[in-house]
Amino acid sequence: MPLYEYACEECRHEFEALVFHGDEPECPQCRSRRLERRLSVPARPQAEAPPPMSGCRSDGPPCGPACARWPKN
């Protein structure tokens, strides 16, 4: 069941709708079926937290807040 974005050609209301095979969406504001389907960009999945730093080089600067060599206050 794809989620599409639409703009109503009657009242210019913009909305999203789940459209099942064979269904014809209508504007939730004015009930018109004269709709323009908009190009929508899929959402990106949420990034997981990066793994903790475990093997940093001892000859370089601290590699981040999880680095064992990060200066402690």
Read out DSSP for 31-60? ----EEEEP-PPPPPPPPPPPPP----TTS
CA distance 10 to 17: 17
CA distance 14 to 46: 26
Structure tokens at 19: 């459209």
Q: What are the residue ranges spanned by the domains of the chain?
A: 3-38
Q: What is the pTM of this model?
A: 0.52
pLDDT, tens only, 24-68:
999 999 999 999 998 777 767 776 665 555 556 666 666 766 666
Quick one: pLDDT at residue 15? 94
Please determine, for residue 7, whether its predicted confidence score (pLDDT) is greater than 90. Answer: yes
